[in-house]
Amino acid sequence: MISIITSMFVGLLGILLYLIIKYPDRSIGTNARPDLTGPKGLPIIGNLLEIRKKELTNFMYDVLMEYGPIATFTFPGLGRFITINDPESIEYVMKTNFDNYIKTPGGRVRLLDLLGDGIFNVNGQMWKFQRKLASHLFYGKNFREIICVVFEEDTKKFLKIMEEKVNSGEIFDLQELFYRFTLDSFGKITFGLDFNCLANLEKPVPFAAAFDFAQAVINRRVTNPYLWKFKEILTKEGRKMREACKYLSNFAYNIIKQRRNDPEALKDTRDILNLFMNAEYENGEKLTDKELRDIILNLIIAGRDTTAQELAWMMYNLMVNPTIEEKLVKELNSLLSEDNPIPKYDDIKQFEYTQATFYETLRLYPAVPRNVKLCLKDDKLPNGIPIYAGELVNWSSWATGRDERVWGIDAKIFNPERFLGSEDGLKPSQYKFTSFNCGPRLCLGQNFATIEAMTLATSLLRKYKFERMPGQKSPPDFGVSLTLPMKDPLLVKVHRRN
């Protein structure tokens, strides 16, 4: 018996030594890439410990700043990452040879219980089908007749809440209010559903709490690719995750059920949910309730989270940059008045400094801080660097926005005027300014998000000044999520402007 145990131990030790020799500085299963620079990893586990210590977005930033614009690292269970940070390479991957770089199967599995087969979690024909239908929401006529009408209605509600908070002197979380605003607006525009978040400030929003929790759990799965399924079976977090996903699914199914039971509502051709419910595949079949559920939750993550977070980051940067705020308010006073306190659709383009401030916020605080694709066939980047089938190509909008090689020596400084005095125009190349993604996957809702943020921000900042409460970290940390929320509440007081 002892000899058997000894033999097994010696055998395992031999296998371990073999793996250490074969993978001396990278994760198991990856090929050596001596032609690329990057942080040296540990035998078998590669850069696992560094990534877990720093968080993936921060780790990628450090790698690109030290080794970029193209670098590499490895992670067990995921493989070798080729991290790119130059606009030419990003354009090649996201446009020129788009079909060779797809969403990763592992990433799809991690997102499956929340996003299912929705637009953010599929490739190929299913993605094209959903994107084509969703694009109908963003026609110019819809902006005038539906979208901007809702934005104006909810902005009036938000301004009324600000007046109450001025009178009470209350300290409150501004980011939380922005979440309520965007969820209310998007629910009405997309599903004809009023979440009543702004009408019931004293009540928590169960949908939002479940959604935020599920996103945080999914983000943590990235750094635990082997064991997250087993861990979630056994832990309290896993049980809570299953409950959250069940709640979100039931919520979406109830929306679908109510719509099916209302034939008159189904006739509204401007409603995006109706477009999907009435759509047919090439074989004549309609979408199932499960497919509609996935689409609803994917749309909400785009319509609620991203704009609310950008508004919060924008307000923070204005509070810590009073000179920029002063210039912005000067523009608002020249274009708005007591008789015209909320801009109309055709007025938005006049607010150039405000829009530049919003884009500068997106540059430094992109709603989706990183992205990754799987290479299907051996390929070469424009600079001649090979990418082999099975390797992962990733980039970080967070890092790109802070890279002096891309944005100049003041890349880390919040400066809206870079968008006004630049030869690129108000919004530069999408492969340099990747905050709305780029190529065929360019964000359908970029104008929607911009107009929503501009409508609320212009109306709000003309009338009110925000005071950030002391004791908060500056700049704030971002939270663990699929997107880029502030980790902690943005605690403020609001005052009327003189």
Return binding residues. 443
Spatial distance between the Cα atoms of 483 and 301, rounded to a whole number of angstroms: 9
- Specify whether the CB–CB gap between 212 and 482 falls below 8 A: no
* CA 485/CA 368 separation, integer angstroms: 10
Place of tokens 């990893």: 41
DSSP states along 389-452: TT-EEEE-HHHHHT-HHHH-TTTTS--GGGGTS-TT-SS--TTTSGGG--GGG--TTHHHHHHH
Please report, in range form, the residues annotated as the binding site for heme: 443
Q: Give the DSSP letter string of 231-289.
A: HHHHSHHHHHHHHHHHHHHHHHHHHHHHHHT-TTGGG-TT-HHHHHHH-B-TTSPBPPH
Burial (0-12, 13-18, 19+ Cβ within 10 Å), 409 = exposed
Nearest by Cα to 88 from 440, 434, 436: 434
Q: Rounded to the nearest 10 degrees, what angle do helices 148-168 and 174-191 cross at?
A: 150
Provide CB contacts within 8 A for 69, sequence distance 6+: 84, 85, 86, 89, 403, 405
Choose among 352, 362, 366, 339: nearest CA to 458: 352
Q: What is the dihedral of CA 373, 376, 381, 385, to 10 degrees?
A: 100
Query: What tokens appear for 125 in the block?
Result: 């024909």
Burial of 159 (0-12, 13-18, 19+ CB in 10 A): middle
Question: d(Cα 15, Cα 21) in Å, to the nearest integer?
Answer: 10
Nearest Cα residue to 381 out of 27, 104, 69, 29: 69
